[in-house]
Amino acid sequence: MIETFEGQCQCGEVKYRVVGTAVTLFACHCTECQRQSSSAFGMALWVQDAEVELVSGELKEWIRSTPSGRSMACSFCPTCGTRLLHKILGQSQFLSIKPGTLNDTKSLEPAGHIWTASKQPWVHIAGTSLQYVGNPPGFEELFSVWRAAHA
């Protein structure tokens, strides 16, 4: 189902709209996501066939290496530094929205948790939630759980 997602950075300079199909939302507990989010974990809302429109402002981009050796483009507000969007370079199917930047976050519950081997010891994950000690071997299970919850 095609949806519209709208959000903004912390200072409000950059506002965006993404149109596409949400395929999963997960929490990542890797140390890079902890550092990037300044928290215990980061979150990623993957949108398939996404079209991005900047409603206001401009984005800056920083390229980083992922644990799998791929390169990820991280788009952020040049004024306040808020990360808004991530994309694996060379992969055009999915865009990752940093869901805390969305205007409406009430219905967002992760389909699972990845990189739990490096999660903070005080973070407790429900036993029924999908959990992977590192990257999952594939994301199909996370896609399936998301679809079932949003059918």
Convert the pLDDT of each residue in 100-144 to its tens digit.
999 999 989 999 999 999 999 999 998 889 999 999 999 999 999
Q: For the chain, which residues make up each domain, given as ranges?
A: 3-149
Q: HSE-up of 88 (CA within 13 Å, CB side)?
A: 14
Task: Quote the DSSP letter at residue 102.
Answer: B
> If you search the block for the tokens 């965006």, which residue do you land on?
16
**Rounded mean pLDDT of 28-52?**
93
In CATH terms, the fold of domain 3-149 is glutathione-dependent formaldehyde- activating enzyme (gfa) (3.90.1590)
Rounded distance between C-alpha atoms, residue 133 and residue 116, angstroms: 5
- What pLDDT does 151 receive? 84
- What pLDDT does 113 receive? 97
Q: Which among 47, 34, 38 has a CA at the least distance from the CA of 81?
A: 38
User: Who's near 49: CB < 8 A, 6+ residues apart?
Assistant: 20, 21, 93
Rounded distance between C-alpha atoms, residue 131 and residue 31, angstroms: 16
Task: Give backbone dihedrals phi and psi of 70, rounded to 5 degrees, phi first.
Answer: -80, 165
**What are the residues facing 42 on neighbouring strands?**
28
Does position 67 have pLDDT exceeding 90, yes or no?
no
